[in-house]
């Protein structure tokens, strides 16, 4: 499980610390399966010699360039497993080309998708995913951190990527997590930190393989008792609950014994009765946090001149 945690940390460093020294292109031998062209002022993949002849490539990193489109022959890289980009890719790129290859790790954090209407192209920092996004046949790690996605942004088949083992949705705008998340039966890591979540669905209890759950920094007040059936406490598990406006009974347990105390509490019959009553009552909705300084919006403002 440490492997995936390290992946998230490494990607976030690339996103938030733009001043760090990026690795240079690897120059080992002609059959190197990894190729990096980071911060090279590249506006077209045709500028990379013989790229589309490198059918043996398994990893392609194109962060911090000026790419707005990817040519169709990206699909010729049939062995590509990792695609990493922080460039401004057009919306149909995901829909047309990436689904043709067996991508296992897809990182499009802090991206910008140009919509078909020219007037809107500065108004979006990946606020919608294209139809058919759930058609990836081999995708195991999906990182959509630092965008403006919410529950209405997802295509109908999003939660049917059966191979998915790690899903990073941190720093987006989700208020609700659809119950269809239960279909991600192989999911081991779910990151929902720093959204606007008001509730976690009962269906999360079906994610029997889940070992890491990050829900800190939301608007959560209660948790479903079904969460208690999951194995989220231990040296190899992670459960992050801090920075939520919990009801007093949960907050007391968290202050006293941390995540272990909360999990023990929500497993109790007392809590199950309490949760049932909370579901039928309506209380004040916790306010949203100010996200004007959020990475995706801050970048958007600087690029759009607003």
Q: How far is CA 285 from CA 92, 162, 244, in A?
A: 37, 34, 12
Q: What is the pLDDT of residue 61?
A: 76
Read off the pLDDT of residues 36-50 as tens digits, 9 standing for 90 and up.
877 777 777 777 888
HEC-encoded secondary structure of 9-45: HHHHHHHHCCCCCCCCCCCCCCCCCEEECCCCCCCCH
Determine if the pTM surpasses 0.85. Answer: no
Question: Measured between alpha carbons, how far is 85 from 5 in angstroms, rounded to an integer?
Answer: 19
Task: Name the DSSP class of 7.
Answer: H
- Stretch among 87-91, 228-232, 267-271 having the lowest mean pLDDT: 87-91
Q: Please give the share of the chain, as a percent, with pLDDT higher than 70.
A: 60
At residue 16, does pLDDT exceed 50? no
CATH superfamily of 2-304: Ribonuclease Inhibitor (3.80.10.10)
CA angle 84, 75, 25 (to 5 degrees): 40
Which one of 111-120, 261-270, 277-286, 291-300 scores highest in mean pLDDT?
A: 261-270
Residue 243 region by backbone torsions, left for phi larger than 0, else alpha for psi between -120 and 50, else beta: left
At residue 136, does pLDDT exceed 70? no
| Residue 129 pLDDT class (50, 70, 90 cuts) | low
Which of 110, 103, 104, 102 has the alpha carbon at shortest distance from 85? 110
At residue 101, does pLDDT exceed 60? no
Question: Measured between alpha carbons, how far is 180 from 229 in angstroms, rounded to an integer?
Answer: 18
Residue spans of the domains in the chain: they are 2-304
Read off the pLDDT of residues 219-231 as tens digits, 9 standing for 90 and up.
999 999 999 999 9
Asked if 102 and 80 touch (Cβ cutoff 8 Å), the reply is yes
- Stretch among 53-57, 121-125, 220-224, 257-261 having the lowest mean pLDDT: 121-125
DSSP per position, 83-150: EE--S--BTHHHHHTGGGTT-SEEE-TT---B-SSGGGTTS-SS--PPTTGGG-SS--EEE--SS---
Question: 212: which residues sit within 8 A by CB, 6+ positions away?
Answer: 1, 4, 5, 188, 189, 190, 191, 232, 237, 238, 239
- φ, ψ for residue 46, nearest 5 deg: -65, -15
Asked if 232 and 252 touch (Cβ cutoff 8 Å), the reply is no
CA 126 to chain centre: 12
Which of 28, 76, 70, 32 has the alpha carbon at shortest distance from 53? 76
Task: Name the DSSP class of 217.
Answer: S
Beta-bridge mates of residue 90: 114
């Amino acid at each position: 499980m440490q492997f995936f945690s390290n992946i998230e940390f490494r990607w976030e460093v690339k996103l938030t610390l733009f001043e760090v020294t990026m690795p240079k292109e690897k120059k080992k031998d002609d059959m190197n399966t990894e190729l990096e062209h980071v911060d090279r002022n590249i506006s077209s993949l045709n500028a990379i010699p013989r790229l589309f002849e490198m059918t043996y490539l398994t990893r392609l990193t194109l962060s911090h360039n000026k790419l707005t489109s990817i040519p169709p022959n990206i699909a010729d890289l049939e062995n590509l497993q990792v695609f990493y980009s922080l460039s401004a890719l057009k919306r149909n790129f995901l829909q047309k080309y990436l689904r043709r290859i067996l991508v296992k790790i897809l990182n499009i954090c802090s991206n910008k998708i140009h919509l078909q209407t020219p007037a809107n192209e500065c108004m979006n920092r990946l606020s919608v995913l294209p139809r058919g996004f759930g058609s990836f046949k081999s995708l195991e790690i999906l990182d959509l951190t630092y965008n403006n996605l919410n529950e209405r942004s997802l295509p109908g088949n999003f939660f049917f990527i059966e191979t998915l083992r790690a899903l990073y949705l941190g720093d987006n705008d989700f208020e609700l997590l659809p119950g269809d998340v239960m279909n991600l039966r192989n999911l081991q890591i779910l990151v929902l930190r720093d959204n606007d979540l008001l509730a976690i669905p009962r269906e999360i209890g079906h994610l029997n393989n889940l070992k890491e759950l990050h829900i800190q920094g939301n608007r959560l007040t209660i948790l479903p008792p079904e969460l208690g059936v999951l194995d989220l406490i231990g040296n190899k598990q992670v459960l992050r609950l801090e920075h939520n406006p919990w009801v007093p009974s949960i907050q007391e347990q968290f202050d006293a014994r941390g995540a272990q105390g909360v999990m023990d509490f929500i497993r109790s019959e007392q809590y199950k009765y309490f949760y049932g009553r909370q579901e039928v009552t309506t209380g004040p909705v916790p306010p949203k946090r100010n996200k004007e300084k959020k990475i995706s919006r801050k970048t958007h403002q600087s690029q759009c001149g607003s």
